[in-house]
Structure 1
C-alpha cells in the first residue's frame, strides 16, 4: 500500500468517527414570553386593521366627492395621520382602493336587495323600507356611497347603463307588482312607471340632500311617501262620482 493512500484513508476514517458539532442552546421561552409575543402580534394586527379602515374611509370621502379620475393618493393620505408608505402597504395603487370599496359596496347592496325580496315580508312594507334604508345608508356610510359612485361612473364610462340601476328598478317594480296582487297598491297603476318614479325620487333626494344631511334626506323620502299615497294606495284614492 502506498503511504499517500494510507494517510488519506486514516483521515477519512477519523472524519467519519467524529460526532456532529453540538447545536447552540436555544433560548428558553416561558409561558409569559409566549403570551407577550402573542399579545404583541394581536396589537400589530389591530393597528394594521385600524390603518386599513382609516385609509378606506379617507378614500371613500374622496371618491364619493370627486369620482375616480379626479382623486389622487396625496389627497387620500392628507385625510389620515398615516404616511404614503403605510397606504401602499395596504393598497398598492388607486385601483386597488377602488376595488376594495366597490366590493364592500356590492356586499351591502346585495344584502339590501335580498332583504327586500324576502317573501315572508309584506311587499308594501318591504318597498318602503328599501327606499328609506337606501337613502339613510347613502347619507351615513361613505364607503357605500363611494362604491355606488365608482360602480355608476365605470358603467357610464363604458357606455352602458349601471347594473345597480337596473337591479334596483327590477326590485322596485317586482315589489310593486307583489303589493298590487295583495291589494296594497292600486292594481290600476302601471308598476313599471311607479318603479321609475320611485327610482327617480331616490336619485333626486340623494343628489340634493343625502350627501349633506342623511337625516333630512330620510325625512324627505317619508314625506314623499305620504304624497304618493293618493296615487298608489287604493284606500287613499278619492272616490269618483257615479255618472248620472
Structure 2
C-alpha cells in the first residue's frame, strides 16, 4: 500500500474509533487511551495525524458540516418540487445518521458545543430557516393549505426530528431514527399540504442504509 494511502487509512481509523467512543460516551468521558485501543494504534501514530483529542473532535464536526452541505446541494440539484426535496432531505439525513457513526458523532459533538454559546445562532436554528425556505417556496406554488405558516411548520418539523434523534440516540443508538423521522413526516405533511400535492416519485432514497 502506498505511503499516502496508509496515512489516509490511519487517519480514517482514528476518526472512526474516536467517533465510536464519542457517540457512546460523549466528548468529556472519552479518553485518548480508549480511542487508541479501539483503533489499534500507538500514541506516536495518533500524534502524527492529530495534536490532541480536541483536534479529532473538530475534524468530526467539520466532517458532518460538509455532509449537510452536500445533502442540501444534492436535493436542490434534482429539480424536484420543494416539498419532495424537503422530504427526501429529511429521509436521507435520518438514514445516514443511523448508518454512519462518524456523522452521528460529529452531530453530537456539534450540538454539545453549541450549548455553551448562548445567544449564538445554532445549527438547529439554521436548519429551521432552511426548512422554512423550502416551505415558503411550496406555499408560493400552491402546495400548502391556505393560511399555513412556513416558519411554524419548520419549527414543528425540526423540533420533532431533534426530539426523535435524542430519544433514538439514547435508546437504540439511532437505529430506529429513520423510522421515527418517517413517522414525523407522515403525520405532519398531510396536515399542511394542499390536496393537489403529491410526493414526487422521481427521487430515490434507500429505505435503510446499512453500515458496512
Q: Relative to structure 1, is the Cα distance of residues 196 and 137 closer, same or farther in structure 2, using a 3 angstrom cutoff?
A: same
Q: Which runs of 5+ in 1 are unaligned?
A: 1-41, 237-244
Are 2:157 and 2:184, in contact at CA under 8 Å, matched by a contact in 1? no
Question: Structure 1, residues 204-227: CA drift from partner, whole Å, max 9, x if none?
Answer: 221222573656321232233222
* 2:195 aligned with 1:235: yes
Q: Relative to structure 1, is the Cα distance of residues 164 and 229 closer, same or farther in structure 2, using a 3 angstrom cutoff?
A: closer
* 2:94 aligned with 1:131: no
Secondary structure of 2:148 counterpart = coil
Are 1:123 and 1:179, in contact at CA under 8 Å, matched by a contact in 2? yes
Q: Decide which of 55, 67, 75 is 1:96's aligned counterpart.
A: 55
Are 1:186 and 1:232, in contact at CA under 8 Å, matched by a contact in 2? yes
Question: Structure 1, residues 144-203: CA drift from partner, whole Å, max 9, x if none?
Answer: 222222222222112245531122101111111111111222132111110011001111
The aligned length equals 195
Alignment-derived partner of residue 223 in structure 1:
183
Question: How much is the aligned-residue C-alpha RMSD, in angstroms?
Answer: 2.2
Q: Relative to structure 1, is the Cα distance of residues 160 and 75 closer, same or farther in structure 2, using a 3 angstrom cutoff?
A: farther
Alignment-derived partner of residue 100 in structure 2:
141
TM-score normalized by the length of structure 2:
0.82
Whose radius of gyration is greater, 1 or 2? 1
With 57-66 and 115-124 compared, the bigger mean Cα shift is at 115-124
TM-score normalized by the length of structure 1:
0.72
Q: Relative to structure 1, is the Cα distance of residues 112 and 187 closer, same or farther in structure 2, using a 3 angstrom cutoff?
A: farther
Alignment-derived partner of residue 52 in structure 1:
11
Structure having greater relative contact order (Cα 8 Å, sep ≥ 6): 2
Alignment-derived partner of residue 188 in structure 1:
147
With 220-229 and 124-133 compared, the bigger mean Cα shift is at 220-229
Correspondences of 1:152-191 after superposition (within 5 Å): 152-161=111-120, 163-191=122-150
